Structure 1
Amino acid sequence: MMDSFPATARDASLVLIVDDVPDNLAMLHDALDAAGYMVLVATNGEAALARAAQARPDIVLLDALMPGMDGFEVARRLKADAGTAQIPIVFMTGLTETEHLIAALAAGGVDYVTKPIKPAEVLARMGVHLGTARRARAQQQQALQARSALDAFGHASLTVRIADGRVLWQTPLARELLRRHLGIDGPRPALPAEITAWMQRQQPTLAQQPEPPRWTLDPGDPPGLGTLVLRLHPPSPEAEESGPGELLLVMREESDLAARETLRQGFGITGKEAEVLYWLAQGKINRDIAEIVGSSPATVKKHLERIYAKLGVETRTAAAAMAMARLPG
C-alpha cells in the first residue's frame, strides 16, 4: 500500500519495476529506494497491469522477456488503456538485435537499457523521461484549464479530428450546445458531414487566414434557440505533437438567452438578475426593464441592489460596464 511509504517519500516519483528475476528486482529496488523513489514491483505481466491500473506509476521499468505475457504485450496493453497510456515505459532487455529494439519502441517504449543492468544508467535515463512526462502533463493541464475556463464566458471549445469530424475532446458547454443544436451527444460524437467538409476545405490555408473561419448554424427547432457560430482555429503546438490532423473549434450561441447565461455564469448571479443586468447593459431604464421581464419597477430596483452587491459596484453605470465587458462585441 502506498500509505506504507514514509511521508517524506510520498512526493517522490513512483516507479513500477517488472522483472521475473528476483535478483534483478532486488538490485533495482534498493538503488531506486536509496535515490528517493517510491517503488512497486511485479514479477509477471498480469501483476504489472494490475499494479499499473491501481497505482498509476510515473514510470515503468519493464523486462522485455518474461514467461507467459512478455514485456512487449504488457506495454501494448498499457498504451491501449487511457488510464495508463501516458506512463513512460523503459524496457530492460538482454536483446541487442535491431529488430528486438525496434519491437520495444513500437510497443510503446520511450527508451531501453541493456542487461546486465547498471543502476546509474537507469537513474539517468529515468530522470530524462520523468522530466519530459511532467512537462507534458503540466501543458495538458494548463490547456484543459484554459479551454474549460472559456465556458464561463459562453465560449465552448472542442478538438475535432479532420479526417472524419470525430470529437476527441469537449468542454461541458460544448457538449450541451452540440446536443441542443445538432442533436448529437456522447463522449466522442461525429460532427455533421457538411461541417466536417467545411473544416477540410479550410484546413490547408487556416494558418494564413487573418481571422478564424466562421460557420453559422441558423436557429431552428426547438423555438428559443439562438444562432450557433463555430470558429475554426489551428491546434496548439502540444496538440499537434500528440495528435496531428486535429483542429480546435470554438462555438458560441449568439442570442439574448445565451448572453444572459453568460452573465449568470460569469458573475454568479441568479437567472432573473442576469436578465435584469442584460437589459441594463442595453441602456434600458427600470420602467422598461420591468415591462420586458414582467415585474414592477420596485422589484427591478431590488434586483439591481443585489446585483451591485455581487459585482462590488455602486452605480448602474459601473454594473453596465462590467456586463458589456463580458458580452461579445
Structure 2
Amino acid sequence: MNSVDPSDAARLDGTLDRANSDVVLIVDDVPDNLSVLHDALDESGYTVLIATSGEAALMRAMQALPDVILLDAMMPGMDGFEVARRLKAAPQTTHIPIIFMTGLTETEYLVAALESGGVDYVTKPIKPKEVLARMGVHLAGARERRQTRNALDAFGYATITVRAADGCLMWQTPLARDLLERYCGTQAPNTPPEVLGWLQACLQTMARGDEPAKLSLERGPKRLTFRLHQQIGDSDAGGDWLIVMREVSDTAVIEAMSLSFKLTAREAEVLYWVVKGKTNKDIGDILGSSPMTVKKHLERVFVKLGVETRTAAAGMAMSRIRQLHPQFEG
C-alpha cells in the first residue's frame, strides 16, 4: 500500500488507487503517533497520507481529497480545531469526515472537536483497533455518498448536496455549478435562497408523511427543475440531501406551435406564454414589448386558430403540444 508524505504531492497527483483502497490522511506532529497509526492502517489495506502540521494538513487535504482524516486536536501553530473549521468551510473538503485524536478528555474539548466539524473522536493513547472501527463506520457512509455521486455524474445528471442544518452547498457536479450560476447567480458554498427555502419546505412536508413537490425556476422558455433524490449521511439536524437538477427547454415546443398553426416566431412565443397563464403585461415584460403589441399579436393568433378567446386558444395549443411533446408541463 501507499504511504505518502506531503513533500511528494506533485508525484502523487492522479496516482491514488481509489478503486481498491480508501485514502486516509493522518495529521499529527508526534512521529511516534504517526508511526503506530501508519503501520496499522497500511496493514489493513488503506492508502496512508501524512501531515505533521495544520498548514500541511490543509494543503494535503485539498490536493488529495482523502476519504477520511484523522486529526490531532493539539498541535503547535494551527491546532486541529482550526484545521477542521477551515476544511469544513471549503466546498472541496467540507464532505470529508474528520475523526479527532485527543488526549484532552474534558467535555469542553470534546464539544469543541464536534462543533468545529468533527464527526467522531478517539482518545490518546491511540488504540489502532478502536481507530479502525470508528473509521469503518464513517467510511461506509462516505463510500455510499461517493458511489451515488459518481453514478449520477456518469449519467450526466446535475446534482448537488445540501446540508440541511446550515444550508451549506457541500458538493456539486460541474454541470450543476454552471446551472446554478446561470439561473441563480450563486456559487458554492452558498445555496440559492429559493432552493434552500424549497428544501426546508420539503422536509416539513415529508415530516407530515406527504410527498415533496419539485421546484421549478423559469428563465424564458427554459426552466430548471429540482427534485429531492435521497438523504445521505447522518440524519442529525436534518442531514445532507442529494438534489437532482434538470434543465428543460421549451424552444422546440414554440417552434412546433409555429409550424402547426402557421404562426410567426413572435406569435408562437405569445401563444406559448398564454398557455403558461401569463397576462398581456407579463408577456410584454418577458418579450420586451408593450401590452398593446402583445394584444395585436394575440389577435392575429385568434384569427389563425379560428378562436375568439384566450382560453380557447390556450386549449387548442395545449392539445396540439401534448400530441407532439407529451412531457410538456403547462
Q: TM-score range by the shorter chain?
A: 0.5 to 0.7
Quote the residue 1:265 is aligned against: none
The answer as to 2:106 corresponding to 1:112 is no
The answer as to 2:179 corresponding to 1:185 is no
Counting only pairs closer than 5 Å after superposition, residues 51-200 of structure 1 correspond to structure 2 as: 51-141=60-150, 149=157, 171=176, 175=180, 178=183, 185-187=185-187
| Aligned-CA RMSD value | 5.2
Query: TM-score, structure 1 length as denominator?
Result: 0.57
**Cα distance in 2 between the residues matched to 1:74 and 1:66:** 10
**Cα distance in 2 between the residues matched to 1:120 and 1:167:** 34
Contact 2:253 2:325 in 1 (8 A): no
Question: Paired residues, what number?
Answer: 258
Contact 2:58 2:87 in 1 (8 A): yes
Report deviation, 1:46.
Answer: 1.0
2:101 counterpart SS class = strand
Quote the residue 2:55 is aligned against: 46
1:51 counterpart SS class = helix
Quote the residue 1:259 is aligned against: 253
Counting only pairs closer than 5 Å after superposition, residues 258-297 of structure 1 correspond to structure 2 as: 258-259=252-253, 278=256
**Cα distance in 2 between the residues matched to 1:158 and 1:76:** 21
Contact 2:223 2:247 in 1 (8 A): yes
Report deviation, 1:134.
Answer: 1.1
2:29 counterpart SS class = coil
Identify if the C-alpha distance between structure 1 residues 175 and 243 changes in structure 2 by more than 3 Å, giving closer, same or farther.
Answer: farther
Deviation string 1:48-72 (CA, Å, 9 cap, x unpaired) is: 1111111111111111111111111
Range that drifts further, 233-242 or 83-92: 233-242
Counting only pairs closer than 5 Å after superposition, residues 180-259 of structure 1 correspond to structure 2 as: 185-187=185-187, 212=213, 225-226=220-221, 236-238=230-232, 241=235, 244=238, 257-259=251-253
Quote the residue 2:37 is aligned against: 28
Identify if the C-alpha distance between structure 1 residues 104 and 254 changes in structure 2 by more than 3 Å, giving closer, same or farther.
Answer: closer
Identify if the C-alpha distance between structure 1 residues 72 and 235 changes in structure 2 by more than 3 Å, giving closer, same or farther.
Answer: same
Contact 2:142 2:233 in 1 (8 A): no
Report deviation, 1:89.
Answer: 1.0
Identify if the C-alpha distance between structure 1 residues 176 and 104 changes in structure 2 by more than 3 Å, giving closer, same or farther.
Answer: closer
**Cα distance in 1 between the residues matched to 2:185 and 2:193:** 10
User: Aligned letter for 1:19?
Assistant: D
User: Aligned letter for 1:70?
Assistant: D
Report deviation, 1:185.
Answer: 3.1
Deviation string 1:212-239 (CA, Å, 9 cap, x unpaired) is: 489897x9xxxxx44x778886674349
1:54 counterpart SS class = helix
Identify if the C-alpha distance between structure 1 residues 174 and 209 changes in structure 2 by more than 3 Å, giving closer, same or farther.
Answer: farther
**Cα distance in 2 between the residues matched to 1:121 and 1:167:** 32
Contact 2:186 2:192 in 1 (8 A): no
Identity percentage of aligned residues: 43
1:84 counterpart SS class = coil
User: Aligned letter for 1:25?
Assistant: L
Report deviation, 1:176.
Answer: 8.2
Report deviation, 1:22.
Answer: 0.8
Contact 1:232 1:247 in 2 (8 A): no
Deviation string 1:237-296 (CA, Å, 9 cap, x unpaired) is: 3499598599979887785x2536xxxxxxxxxxxxxx5xx479x8x5xxx98x979xxx
Task: Note the residue ranges of structure 2 that are not aligned, 5 or more in a row.
Answer: 1-7, 266-320
**Cα distance in 2 between the residues matched to 1:321 and 1:30:** 65
Identify if the C-alpha distance between structure 1 residues 230 and 127 changes in structure 2 by more than 3 Å, giving closer, same or farther.
Answer: closer
**Cα distance in 2 between the residues matched to 1:144 and 1:98:** 41
Report deviation, 1:201.
Answer: 9.0
Identify if the C-alpha distance between structure 1 residues 175 and 242 changes in structure 2 by more than 3 Å, giving closer, same or farther.
Answer: farther
Quote the residue 1:312 is aligned against: none
**Cα distance in 1 between the residues matched to 2:89 and 2:22:** 23
